[in-house]
Amino acid sequence: MANPDNREDNPARIQNAIDHTIANLHEAEDYLDEHADEISAVDKENIEAKNARRQQAISGFIEEKKDESNN
């Protein structure tokens, strides 16, 4: 028998993902602030690109949380 679809914890789970993604974004920004002159241009671009993807993910998580909260 299939498990029932229980989505009660989705907003909390999504908020947890938002919090972790924000923490990773800030950690990467701090790393760049402290070590930008020590890393290659390619590594710096890769970190900046990853942070851009993190920002997009955060926006998506926020929209998903809004949808889950409305249900």
- Maximum Cα–Cα distance for the chain, whole Å? 58
- 68 pLDDT more than 90: no
Nearest in space to 70 (alpha carbons), one of 10, 3, 27: 10
Residue 48: per-residue pLDDT? 97
Q: How far apart are CA 14 and CA 37, in angstroms?
A: 35
Is the pLDDT confidence value at 71 over 80?
A: no
Q: Is the pLDDT of residue 26 over 70?
A: yes
Q: Is the pLDDT of residue 7 over 70?
A: yes
Q: What is the pTM of this model?
A: 0.84
Whether residue 40 is predicted with pLDDT greater than 90 in this model: the reply is yes
Tell me which of 61 and 2 has the higher pLDDT: 61
